[in-house]
Amino acid sequence: MPERSASHLQRYAAIDALRGLAMVWMTVFHFCFDLSHFGWWPQNFLGDPFWTWQRTAIVTLFLLCAGLGQAVAQAHGIGWRRFSRRWLQVLAAAMLVSFGSWLMFPHSFIYFGVLHGMAVMLLLARLTAGWGRWLWPAGVLALLLPWLAQELLGGPLAHWAALMDGRALNWLGLISRKPFTEDYVPVLPWLGVMWWGLAAGQWLVAQRPRWLTAPVPRAARPLARLGRWSLSYYLLHQPVMLGALTALAWLIAAKGA
């Protein structure tokens, strides 16, 4: 099937709106994190379930949308050339996140966060898109493998724990303990979420395309517009918020001097 240009592709507003919702939620979450970082609202983002479960839900939404998007790309016959352009953008953005986080948090910089994981998972999703309904059980297996690895690395395979926990391999997710980093989204179990998004998207495109292509309610249209610029927004939102809060902290200090 010949590759179609972007100008001939129909927008799937429901996916855009869902992605936009994830972006707004992420922004609120990161703003609260920034307030805690400046010491204005101390919170335990690493251990408090109120925050850890929100992070899980936000990443889940992003990866489900990525899977849905791959199903749409497959349905439209998007070839490897256009996929590669977008994939390289994600990879370059991941490298920027690593560099920026290293400047702020040199001891816990992001070396395999959500964009790094998404770059690997998008490639795997592209290669496995032909699995069809087998994507559902594959997703279950991907979700279970980290739990199984923890059981084995804490018992009969304990001698492998240091190797799997090291930075060279912990991006796989088969670890016995989480690494010390500001963001960590390993391939497993998160590939399972993207596989489910891909499987759900393939079913929707084939059986219920109107659910994806129908106009979203007026209240959700700003979310849909925002969702079309997810990568750019992701890269810019934290520098803007941190810059604004840094300026505010400077003003407060200047007035108190």
**Count of residues in the chain:** 257
Nearest to 24 by CA among 16, 36, 14: 16
Q: Which residues pair with 112 in a beta bridge?
A: 184
The neighbour count for residue 17, using CB atoms within 10 Å, is: 22
**Per-residue pLDDT tens digits of the chain, which is 257 residues long:** 344 444 344 578 999 999 999 999 999 999 999 999 999 999 999 899 999 999 999 999 999 999 999 999 999 888 899 999 999 999 999 999 999 999 988 999 999 999 999 999 999 999 999 999 999 999 999 999 999 998 888 888 888 889 999 999 999 999 998 999 999 999 999 999 999 999 999 999 999 999 988 889 999 999 999 999 999 999 999 999 999 999 999 998 888 76
Q: What is the pTM of this model?
A: 0.90
Domain boundaries along the sequence of the chain: 11-252
Nearest to 231 by CA among 14, 62, 84: 62
| Half-sphere exposure for 174 (CA within 13 Å, toward CB) | 16
Residues 6+ apart with CB under 8 A from 47: none
Q: Tokens for 29, please give them.
A: 């979450």
Residue 51: burial class (beta carbons within 10 Å; 0-12, 13-18, 19+): middle
